[in-house]
Copies of this chain bind each other. A is one copy, B any other.
């Protein structure tokens, strides 16, 4: 398998990106990792790391789409970027997947407008995430590619999410739910109500509405929503966890006795952190384009990048793109 990594992706590129690529190449020596980006910067980062026996290739791309670049503009104007070159390799059959921790809007725009393009019949590609929670993992989409959605889009998201849950999480006949403000049928906004009717008529295993609490309890394998409320959902989960984390740390270190308690309880806190660590998954797929594309967090470290490459491997092995081509009608 050949996986392209955007070396100019993360907030602190290229160090976390190159480090992650190296970790991946070491972990999966049968695969090839292709680093795309500014050659000098990549080579400097690799420095005198011993890369013998490691299948790491560099493909030059001079331009960089930065985090604050306007996505549509960057997709149009920076055609020599690592995103253009990297996804171009996937389009041309020279690689199997593309991974980037860069500007999410940029990845979207370069994928849909310039390189891989939408799969036939897919109305809107969607950005998905796998949430790793104590109760288990589930696929949640769209988390931000489409702020305004129509019922038909959500039905396609449900199909693409099911394909992903089956291929990557190994769920047979995945349970699909709509994120809503109440579980009862009839709750929801206009979009949820109209989508409900369409999903009930589909051949997906549609289980109805779920509230955030039930979603987090893993009561569905695929949770579907428009990109606006989905973005609120995922960012609120992150923000609430981070807020509590800081609050607990502050309160525990406030007195010597509670601080001692915190020290003794440290292994428990470490297990908790691991349980809700987004870097364990590394990245989420952009579903609906002609190729495997994984978007990682801008704040990724090397381990997160390596895990995002792992996601790409699963998606390629699971034949996600072909399954979406077959599934979306």
Q: What B residues does A180 contact at CB under 8 A?
A: 228
Cα(A215)–Cα(B229), bound, Å: 15
B271 touches A267 (CB 8 A): no
Cα(A260)–Cα(B257), bound, Å: 11
Quick one: closest B residue to A68, CB to CB? B184
B272 touches A264 (CB 8 A): no
B228 touches A211 (CB 8 A): no
Q: What B residues does A266 contact at CB under 8 A?
A: 258, 261
A215 to chain B, nearest CB (A): 8
Cα(A261)–Cα(B272), bound, Å: 15
A251 to chain B, nearest CB (A): 4
A322 at the interface (CB under 8 A from B): no
A97 to chain B, nearest CB (A): 26
- Copy number in the complex reads 2
Q: Which of A227-246 touch B at CB < 8 Å?
A: 227-229, 231-233, 235-246
Known: A240-B240, A247-B275, A251-B271. A179 touches B232 (CB 8 A): yes
B148 touches A190 (CB 8 A): yes
A262 at the interface (CB under 8 A from B): yes
A228 touches B189 (CB 8 A): yes
Cα(A142)–Cα(B38), bound, Å: 48
- Among candidates B187, B252, B267, residue contacting A268 with C-beta atoms closer than 8 Å: B252
Against B, the Cβ 8 Å flags (1 = close, 0 = not) of A123-136 are 00000000001100
Q: What B residues does A265 contact at CB under 8 A?
A: 252, 258, 261-262, 265
A232 touches B235 (CB 8 A): no
A172 to chain B, nearest CB (A): 26
Quick one: closest B residue to A190, CB to CB? B148
A204 at the interface (CB under 8 A from B): no
Cα(A247)–Cα(B272), bound, Å: 7
Against B, the Cβ 8 Å flags (1 = close, 0 = not) of A81-114 are 0000000000000000000000000000000000
B251 touches A272 (CB 8 A): yes
Known: A258-B265, A265-B265, A268-B254. A211 touches B188 (CB 8 A): no
Q: Which of A162-202 touch B at CB < 8 Å?
A: 179-181, 187-190, 192
A268 touches B243 (CB 8 A): no
B258 touches A190 (CB 8 A): no
A73 at the interface (CB under 8 A from B): no
Quick one: closest B residue to A270, CB to CB? B251
Quick one: closest B residue to A237, CB to CB? B240
Q: What B residues does A122 contact at CB under 8 A?
A: none
Against B, the Cβ 8 Å flags (1 = close, 0 = not) of A58-69 are 000000000000
B240 touches A236 (CB 8 A): yes
A188 touches B268 (CB 8 A): no
Residues of A within 8 A of B (CB): 133-134, 144, 147-148, 179-181, 187-190, 192, 211-213, 215-216, 226-229, 231-233, 235-248, 250-252, 254-255, 257-258, 260-269, 271-272, 275-276
Starting from the known contacts A232-B236, A240-B244, A258-B267, 14 additional A-B residue pairs (CB-CB under 8 Å) come to A147-B181, A148-B190, A212-B238, A216-B239, A229-B229, A244-B272, A247-B275, A247-B276, A248-B248, A251-B271, A255-B268, A257-B267, A261-B268, A262-B268
